[in-house]
Amino acid sequence: MQVVAKSERQRYHTTQYAPLEDQADIDLAVHWVLERTDVFLNTVGDIELLSRVLDAASRLQARPGDDEMEHLLEERNMTLLFV
């Protein structure tokens, strides 16, 4: 098995970052953001994913708990985009 460095992985999106792709992940993130008053939702940089974000926003439910968001961060190996 060959291990490929993160910087050498094939890119499928027009962004400098690896966006969430799975609808369930996008739903969690969008619902978390929209239920907070201290943050706002940026649209995605990849037009192919915009319909998924808008779909998630149209089905807004209760904000996911911190434990769900921590699991998403760990599961998807997410890091801060801006520091």
Residue 30 falls inside a structural domain: no
Residue 9 falls inside a structural domain: no
**Mean pLDDT value across residues 20-26:** 93
Query: 70 in the Ramachandran plot: left (φ > 0), alpha (ψ -120 to 50) or beta?
Result: alpha
Residue 30's pLDDT is what?
95
Total count of domains within the chain: 1
Residue 65 falls inside a structural domain: yes
Sign of CA dihedral 63, 67, 69, 71: negative
Residue 2's pLDDT is what?
40
Residue 48's pLDDT is what?
85
Give the pTM.
0.75
Residue 1 falls inside a structural domain: no
**Mean pLDDT value across residues 37-53:** 86
Domain that holds residue 68: 39-77
Contact 72, 25 (CB under 8 A): yes
Residue 5's pLDDT is what?
44
**Which tokens in the block code for residue 11?**
């890119």
